Amino acid sequence: QKEVEQNSGPLSVPEGAIASLNCTYSDRGSQSFFWYRQYSGKSPELIMFIYSNGDKEDGRFTAQLNKASQYVSLLIRDSQPSDSATYLCAVNNAGNMLTFGGGTRLMVKP
């Protein structure tokens, strides 16, 4: 079974700190990887995607991909209380279907 695993949290970080969110996946044929943010009671919204090994930066967000280790992460620098949400990792597998992890709840404390 093609799985995407995330620690459910909550991950608690102080305001201004770096939040590190991790995700592992089982399908070695996966080609593209996505991070979504979901506020309570709302639909998920795309933060960023990554296709190649290495880092991809967008503002305060950095996605990191290591296909050999089947590992993708999201770093949030200078975390703000408004970043408090559930973060969903999604993986597009070799069958071209998007599989979501269960999400990590992030709490940024002022």
Partner 1 sequence: SQTIHQWPATLVQPVGSPLSLECTVEGTSNPNLYWYRQAAGRGLQLLFYSVGIGQISSEVPQNLSASRPQDRQFILSSKKLLLSDSGFYLCAWRTGMGNTIYFGEGSWLTVV
> With binding defined as CB under 8 A, does residue 98 bind partner 1?
yes
Give me the 12-51 binding string for partner 1, x by CB under 8 A, dash otherwise: -------------------xx-x------xxxxxx--x--
- Point out which residues pair with 85 in neighbouring strands: 106
CB atoms within 10 A of CB 72: 25
- What the block records as the tokens of 31 is 């080609």
Give strand pairing partners of 98: 92
CB 109 within 8 Å of CB 12: yes
Asked whether 48 and 90 are in contact (CB, 8 A), the reply is no
Residue whose CB is less far from partner 1, 36 or 76: 36
Q: Which of 19/50 has CB closer to partner 1?
A: 50
Does 103 engage in binding with partner 1 (CB under 8 A)?
yes
19 token code pair: 């939040």
Asked if residues 54 and 62 have their Cβ atoms less than 8 Å apart, the reply is no
C-beta of 5 vs 75, nearer to partner 1: 5
Span of 11-19, 60-68, 73-81, 90-98 interacting with partner 1 by CB under 8 A: 90-98
State the residues that interact with partner 1 by CB under 8 A: 31-32, 34, 41-46, 49, 88, 90, 92, 96-98, 100-103
